[in-house]
Amino acid sequence: MPTNSRRSFLKSASAGAAASAVPANAAQPAAAQSKRPYRQTGFAPGASPQRISDNLYRLEDTCNVYIVKNGSRAVLIDFGSGKVLEHLSALGITQVDWILHTHHHRDQCQGDRKAAARNIPIAVPAHEHHLFADAENFWRNRRVFHLYYVRNDFNTITENIPVARALADYSTFRWQNMDFYVLPTPGHTLGSITLLATIDNKRVAFSGDLMYASGKIQTLHDTQVNYGGSEGIDLGIFSLARLEELKPELLCPSHGDTLPAPAAAIRQTIKSLTDYYRFQTGNAPSEEGMPYAVTPHLICHYQTTSSFYAILSNSGKAMFIDYGSASPIHFGNFERAIPSVGRIRFVEHNITRLKRDYGLKSIDVAMPSHMHDDHMNGFPHLVRHFQTKVWCYENMVDIFEHPRGYNLGCILGEPFKVSRSFRDGEKFRWEEFEFEIKHSPGHTEYQMALFVTIDGQRVAFTGDAFFANSNVAGTLRHNLIFRNHVENDSHLKSVRNLIEREPAMICPGHGKAYPVDRSILLATEQRLRQQQQFFFDLLPDGQTDFGLDPSWVRLYPYQVLVAPGETQEITVHVQNYKPTAMKIEASLVGPAEWNLAPEVVKLTVAPRSKASAAVKVSIPRDWVAPAPRFAIAADVICDGRYLGQITEAVIDMKGFLAT
């Protein structure tokens, strides 16, 4: 499906797009190399390392290879052909401790096999880990026919590279007494990083191919991700603005000359790229999106992928409602770049602005309107770097803490802790504000409506339940995604929450806050009754909710992480929508060598309720997995009727996942 934004996806109300995702970091290579190494050419660069300062050298190879020296030891930034190894003894270097890559292009890493042969550990950007370590898998799956995803990931290495460490965004890589700060700087590639370190008393930025020289980038073709797009330009502007804030004193690009005192050059590049971006797209770049005050204590940013809100207390503390990706360009492109095992990239946005323009002092609490990645992609970052507490409606807790458990739309593949949860109808106080929380299903079962009075205005945060721009006059627009768990009356429950509480203003999950009144809500309720009638009419009598829910029998966890020799529980969950009790027999269909206890799960599920039972799966110690990732199913009999393999789970073998 075309990428673009969650916003346009929700506007189109068309088919569902579930972002596949699992816990942090990317796929590890298949443990055993399946093929013999390629022959190499004898080509090599003619240049010698040039001294930049006492402990910093540059070798012009297929890319600039930077040598950061400490006594007889060194770290290399990118590696090119690997020729650098032959120059090190002349610089008094006897050991290379690490190679740190800024991005995955072949010119940065084509000689890495030489490093691996000498046991030099290689660290790579976390969001491009799979394009080094699992490159051969990338090539097996990269489509060339019907090419609309024109991103230049074709410049990926042809053979797997052993990766010792993934460099996580915003982390610090410590080498001896030197810290390399990992700043996410997408643009030239989607996963690019800039490494910042103080070398010879100068703040040095190894910026990969983010920029080439003042006002210049090395290639335009690398900045296009989708057909006709200018995504990498937009991302590059945003990245350069973040780099500018860190005030580097020396810029070391992967191509082009080093730039001392680069502030003016960075500014010029931002300006030149912005002019070009406006010319090509007619739009302002993501960097120019700005939050606005709905009322003095309620700040909204709607140009981010999903809207996020800061409720500002007089104390300077803020409660965030949602905090997702920086812009639709960030979300749409990062989402599509995720390997089957991975988490969407997040880059921090707007916090500096909120501090500067609105007096925000701390982000005390963050609450997700619902469990979708576009709304809380930034929560782990807030927890990690701002000591923010996550509060949420109770049915979201397990999804956040155990995202492997579920197969629902738009799960974020990184677990995080929830510090407080709320029941349906619960009231609570935060700072000077009084809240009421209601379960608000429809868009997803896992969504709240949050009611609060701010600056005398009664507002409701409703996530993606309702939007103002309906094509039916006088109503709100709803949406329907079956993978998100929808029941026939889910949407009606949500609109009734609003009718009963009559907020003056709705703060939606996408777009600006908008006013509502009783007549709009009542008209919306009528329309949602029509939807319910369609469900009843279109689906077999008495089976409406079974026809809406792809997972009324489901396996938990959905993505099971196992190793030979282990015993794991896989739980069969059944939701009985019928007004009578239901008898279920279920049995797993998986590898013949696995031991199942019990072989057949038998359950009686009370009318209109749920039940579950666990199967203990024991995997023999000497068992060899058929693949790093594969599927199992469950065969099901319901009330004596054989339904077949109506549900499934995915198995990931431990040891193939980076931790």
What is the binding site for Zn ion (CB under 5 A)? 105, 209, 306, 372, 374, 464, 509
Shortest reach from residue 632's CB to Zn ion, in Å = 29
Output the smallest distance, CB 305 to Zn ion, in A: 7
- Amino acid found at 560: V
Comparing CB distances to Zn ion, the nearer of 156 and 306 is 306
Shorter beta-carbon distance to Zn ion: residue 328 or 628: 328
| Cα dihedral 58→60→62→67 (10° resolution) | -20
What six digits make up the tokens of 246? 């860190």
Smallest gap from residue 223 Cβ to Zn ion (A)? 11
Query: Given the structure tokens 């070391």, which residue do they identify?
Result: 252
d(CA 196, CA 174): 11
Question: Residue 345 carries which side chain, given as an amino acid letter?
Answer: R
**Total Cβ atoms within 10 A of residue 511:** 19
Spatial separation of the C-alpha atoms in residues 439 and 424, rounded to whole Å: 5
The minimum distance between CB 121 and Zn ion, in angstroms, equals 22
Cβ(191)–Cβ(128) below 8 Å: yes
Nearer to Zn ion, 234 or 464 (CB): 464
Q: Which helix (H) or strand (E) holds 424?
A: none
In the complex with Zn ion, which residue's Cβ is closer, 390 or 588?
Answer: 390
- Nearer Cβ to Zn ion, position 169 or 445? 445
Cβ closest to Zn ion, residue 192 vs residue 475:
192
User: CA torsion, points 563, 564, 566, 570, in degrees to nearest 10?
Assistant: 70
How far apart (Å, rounded) are the C-alpha atoms in residues 574 and 568?
A: 19
Q: Which is nearer to Zn ion, 123 or 371 (CB)?
A: 371
Strand, coil or helix: 58: strand
Rg from Cα positions in the chain: 27
Least distance to Zn ion from the beta carbon of 515, Å?
Answer: 21
Among residues 447 and 576, whose Cβ is nearest to Zn ion? Answer: 447
Query: In sequence order, what are the residues at sequence separation of 6 or more whose Cβ sits closer than 8 angstroms to the Cβ of residue 534?
Result: none
Class of residue 258 by CB neighbours under 10 A (exposed 0-12, middle 13-18, buried 19+):
middle
Q: Which of 263, 256, 215 is nearest to 236 (CA)?
A: 215
Query: How near is the Cβ of 331 to Zn ion at its closest, in Å?
Result: 9
* Least distance (Å) between residue 374 CB and Zn ion: 5
Closer by beta carbon to Zn ion, 23 or else 509: 509
Three-state DSSP class for 62? coil
Beta bridge partners of residue 295, listed in sequence order: 298
Q: How many CA atoms lie within 13 A of 70 on its CB side?
A: 12
CB of 469 to Zn ion, least distance (A): 14
Cβ nearer to Zn ion, comparing 211 with 570: 211
Q: Which amino acid is at 313?
A: S
Tokens representing 148 are 């609309």
Backbone angles phi, psi at 167, to 5 degrees: -90, 105
Beta-carbon-side half-sphere exposure of residue 599 (alpha carbons within 13 Å): 2
- Single out the residue of 463, 473, 372, 364 nearest to residue 420, CA to CA: 364
- Closest distance between Zn ion and the C-beta of residue 222, in Å? 6
Between 7 and 297, CB nearer to Zn ion = 7
Rounded Cα–Cα distance for residues 110 and 609 (Å): 58
Distances (CA, A) of 11 to 4, 16, 239, 485: 11, 12, 28, 20
Q: What is the DSSP letter of 477?
A: B
Asked if 112 and 131 count as a contact pair (C-beta separation under 8 A), the reply is no
153 conformational bin, left if phi > 0, alpha if psi -120 to 50, beta if neither: alpha
In the complex, minimum distance from the CB of residue 11 to Zn ion, in angstroms, rounded to a whole number: 11
Residues facing residue 637 across a β-bridge: 585, 642
Least spacing, CB of residue 573 vs Zn ion, in Å: 22
The residue (of 364 and 374) whose beta carbon lies closer to Zn ion is 374
**Do 360 and 351 touch, CB atoms closer than 8 A?**
yes
Contact indicator for 137, 130 with CB cutoff of 8 Å: yes
23 vs 191 by CB, closer to Zn ion: 191
**CA 474 to CA 122: how far, in whole Å?**
59
Q: Which lies closer to Zn ion via its Cβ, residue 134 or residue 374?
A: 374
Cα–Cα distance, 287 to 330 (Å, whole number): 11
Give me the half-sphere count of Cα atoms (radius 13 Å) on the Cβ side of residue 408: 27
- Rounded least distance, CB 375 to Zn ion, Å: 6
Least distance CB 509 / Zn ion (angstroms)? 5
We find the least distance from the C-beta atom of residue 443 to Zn ion, in angstroms, to be 6
Give the shortest CB-256-to-Zn ion separation in angstroms. Answer: 12
Q: Of 447 and 544, which CB lies nearer to Zn ion in the complex structure?
A: 447
Nearer to Zn ion, 74 or 408 (CB): 408
Q: How far is the CB of 265 from Zn ion (least distance, A)?
A: 19
Helix/strand/coil for 267: helix
